[in-house]
Chain A
Amino acid sequence: AQSVSQHNHHVILSEAASLELGCNYSYGGTVNLFWYVQYPGQHLQLLLKYFSGDPLVKGIKGFEAEFIKSKFSFNLRKPSVQWSDTAEYFCAVNAVNAGNMLTFGGGTRLMVKP
């Protein structure tokens, strides 16, 4: 069975700082990869997804993520964070041969100080 690790549970940044959130998964087969965000009091929203092709994917709100297959990683990045990026971020993996089940990481709580 696949598993997903998000190494940073809590991250505190000042506005304009750069962000990188780590995500590693364990699964030897083909995967689809996702980052979801949950703003305070809101539902999970899809930030970006990777299915195939260019391993650098761009999502909404200036976020991007890079799939490095050899490292089983899918790290999320943003060059300059804003206070409104304060939220919890979840990495998720779908093993292509296992239906549409998503396996989520434990989440990273990001606080951006104004």
Chain B
Amino acid sequence: KAGVTQTPRYLIKTRGQQVTLSCSPISGHRSVSWYQQTPGQGLQFLFEYFSETQRNKGNFPGRFSGRQFSNSRSEMNVSTLELGDSALYLCASKPGAGPDYGYTFGSGTRLTVV
């Protein structure tokens, strides 16, 4: 069973640009969440999606957005990139919307903003 797939693995962007990151959840998983991991702030919640609906959003500026498609694949977008957006962005999926599952995480996309 394939795991959570995130593309691309590495990305270098310039300040002011925008970026789109992609996540394919485990087959059959309908709940997808995104997290940002940095050395200073640790792991911070970005968004949660279920059945194409955003159920929860973390404390990030509006430059961070996301969506989920009907096949449960998800994308997140960051516009007007800042140096501080450099981080490992992790996607996680689980079967349903209920709390009684543990998330399976992908390997992440490492974004570097220069």
Contact = CB atoms under 8 A, between A and B. Distances in A.
10 contacts: A36-B105, A44-B92, A92-B43, A98-B56, A99-B55, A100-B33, A100-B103, A103-B45, A104-B35, A105-B42
Nearest to A92: B43
Interface residues of A, number: 24
Nearest to B46: A101
Contact of A107 (B42, B90, B102, B105): B42
A80 interface: no
B72 to A, nearest CB: 14
B48 A100 contact: yes
B99 A96 contact: yes
Interface of B: 3-4, 31, 33, 35, 42-45, 48, 55-56, 58, 90, 92, 94, 97, 99-100, 102-108
Contacts of A100: 31, 33, 48, 55-56, 94, 97, 99, 103
A32 interface: yes
Nearest to A90: B43
> Interface majority SS on B: helix, strand, loop or mixed?
strand
Given A98-B56, A99-B48, A99-B55, A43 B106 contact: yes
Contacts of B35: 102, 104
Interface of A: 32, 34, 36, 42-46, 49, 51, 90, 92, 94, 96, 98-107
A104 to B, nearest CB: 4
A99 B105 contact: no
Contacts of A45: 105
B42 to A, nearest CB: 5
B6 to A, nearest CB: 9
Contacts of B102: 34, 46, 49
Contacts of A99: 48, 55-56
Contacts of A42: 107
A104 B43 contact: yes
